[in-house]
Amino acid sequence: MTSSATIDNKMASAASTQPSAQFADITRNDDTLRRFLHGLPGVDQVGAEARAASLGTRSIKTTAKAWAIDLAIRMVDLTTLEGQDTPGKVRALSAKAMHPDPADSTCPATAAVCVYPDMVGVAKEVLGNSGVNVAAVATAFPSGRAALDIKLADTQDAVQAGADEVDMVIDRGAFLSGRYKQVYDEIVAVREACARPDGSSAHLKVIFETGELQTYDNVRRASWLAMMAGGHFIKTSTGKVQPAATLPVTLVMLEAVRDFREQTGVQIGVKPAGGIRTSKDAIKYLVMVNEIAGDDWLDPDWFRFGASTLLNDLLMQRTKLTTGVYSGPDYFTLD
Residues with catalytic function? 167, 235, 271
Q: Are strands 269-271 and 233-235 parallel, antiparallel or unpaired?
A: parallel
DSSP E strands: which ranges in the chain?
Answer: 76-79, 112-115, 133-138, 165-169, 203-207, 233-235, 269-271, 305-307
Q: Strand, coil or helix: what is 64?
A: helix
DSSP state, residue 335: -
Give buried/exposed letters for 14-47 (b at 16+ CB in 10 A, else e): beeeeeeebbeebbeeeebbbebbeebeebeeee
Query: What dihedral do alpha carbons 120, 334, 92, 203 form, nearest 10°?
Result: -30
- Please provide residue 232's backbone torsions phi and psi, each rounded to the nearest 5 degrees: -85, -30
| DSSP secondary structure of 234-302 | EE---SSSSS---HHHHHHHHHHHHHHHHHHS---EEE-BSS--SHHHHHHHHHHIIIII-GGG-STTT
- How far is the C-alpha of 298 from the C-alpha of 68, rounded, in Å? 10
